[in-house]
Structure formats: C-alpha cells, structure tokens
A = this chain, B = another copy of it.
C-alpha cells in the first residue's frame, strides 16, 4: 500500500470523472462544488481510497499521469496532444539521461513530457522569444515539480541555437521551414529532428527546407485517436472525435559532400508500419 504524503502531486476524481489536480500541502484546503477537502485529511490516506468531502461526496485519491497533467495545463497557445507526444518521444529516441532541445516553449506541454522522460539526469533546453510564454511554461513545470530539469532560453532562434551536437531537437513553430539551417547546426550528424505543423502547406514547405538542409529520411505522419464508449454490451466509437491536431514531421540530418539530390528515398518506406 502506498500512502499519500505531503508534497505529493495528487488527483481527486469522482465517479462521474470530475477531477482536480493539486499538490498535498499541510494546512491547505481544496474547495469543490461537491464540498471541501482539507489536505491534512488526505495526507496519510492510502492511494486508491475513496475519500469524502464535507458534503459527503466521494472522490478517489489517485496519482495523475503525465498525460492527464498535460491535458490539464494552463495554456495560452495550442498544446501538443498526448497522442502526438507519445509518438514524438518514440521517434526522437527520448530516454533517461538525454539532452533534448525544443523551440518554441509554448505553454510547456511538450517541455513537461520531455522533462519527465529524460529524468533527473537528463536535460531539456527550451527556446522561445516570448517572455509571457516562458513564464507560463515555467509555472506549469514548477507545479509538476520538473522545473529543475529544464533550461529556458528567451531567444529568437533565427540567430541559432547555443547548442551543437545535440541528439534530438523539436521545432514547434509556425514557420519551422525558416529554421532548418539552425536546427542542422544544433544537431549531431544522424540526430533526431522532429516538428509539428497544422497545415499541408507548411508540411510541403518544411519538406523542401529539410531536403535543402541535408535532412534525409523524412517522414510525415498523422495520428488519429479514436475513443470508444466503455459500455461492454454496446461497444462503439464515441460520436465525435478530434479530427486533426497537426502533421508530425521527422527527419535525420546527415553529412554529404557532393550535392547529390535525394530523390524520394522514402517512397519504399511509405507503407511502413510504425
């Protein structure tokens, strides 16, 4: 049995899936429309237990997942969805101890997922030219306790990244095609490049820029996530779904001396099962 302790980031969720995320802090209280909880009454409880507000409404005390936390982030920009983040982590080969560079920071959703995945021995370096964005991201990272893994840089990346020889770099910008040269210089040979773009036109422009800047083996991927109603004897997809968040683009920077043009090397891989 695991006991909820002061300082834990916890979730209270009732049977109708209404939920609250917060950090257990002695002396504080959580006020909900279904009643009040004193943190001190929650500290010491066994995780998974149903606890009751002063109005006797039950909530389960559980640990939030990173996916839950990202979905719940305060944001002032479009956030990258957990469905996309999962694939980004796989494709950028993110793992404990690694350093990853991203631009821009945005609301810090991807930053948070990266910081979580690289662990306490890894590092995330996050560029953004907007102070308000980075402030928000900083607060979001702080709330989940991962701020110390992130270096924020308030900078327009058109002048380049400080880093070189980076293993993985992600561009979440409106115009990623304007920064492929900078990304190339920041990455190690054969490193992992990723980007997200909402429109087909951006994808085309980025593919052109990537080819010009010696990024090979491009992939353009879209993820459709479908939820099902969870009634066992009436199993069916839910009525409506998110139809589009963005196209994910991945590629690998390589070193070539001659100006050999890469001609659609990805054609063969096109039915690749990823």
Give the size of the chain A interface in residues (CB under 8 angstroms): 110
Chain A contact residues: helix, strand, loop or mixed: mixed
User: Does the CB pair A271–B233 fall under 8 Å?
Assistant: no
Query: A85 — which chain B residues lie within 8 A by C-beta?
Result: 86, 90
Could you tell me the distance in whole angstroms from the C-beta of A21 to the nearest C-beta in chain B? Answer: 13
Query: A129 — which chain B residues lie within 8 A by C-beta?
Result: none
- From A231, which residue of chain B is reached at the shortest CB distance? B264
- From A93, which residue of chain B is reached at the shortest CB distance? B65
CB-CB contacts below 8 Å: A169-196 with B: 188-192
Measured in the bound complex, the distance between the Cα atoms of B191 and A219 in whole Å is 35
User: Does the CB pair B247–A188 fall under 8 Å?
Assistant: no
User: Does the CB pair A269–B17 fall under 8 Å?
Assistant: yes
What string of 1s and 0s marks CB contacts (under 8 Å) between A50-88 and chain B? 100000000011110111000100000000011101111
- From A218, which residue of chain B is reached at the shortest CB distance? B230
CB-CB contacts below 8 Å: A220-256 with B: 220-244, 247, 252-256
User: Does the CB pair A271–B87 fall under 8 Å?
Assistant: no
User: Does the CB pair A227–B271 fall under 8 Å?
Assistant: yes
**Which of A23-31, A35-43, A113-121, A152-160 lies at the interface?**
A113-121
- From A262, which residue of chain B is reached at the shortest CB distance? B15
The yes or no answer to A259 lying at the interface (CB within 8 A) is no
User: Does the CB pair B83–A204 fall under 8 Å?
Assistant: no
The yes or no answer to A44 lying at the interface (CB within 8 A) is no
Can you report 11 residue pairs joining A to B where beta carbons are below 8 Å apart? Answer: A2-B188, A15-B260, A62-B254, A83-B87, A85-B86, A201-B235, A223-B225, A227-B243, A230-B264, A239-B270, A241-B243
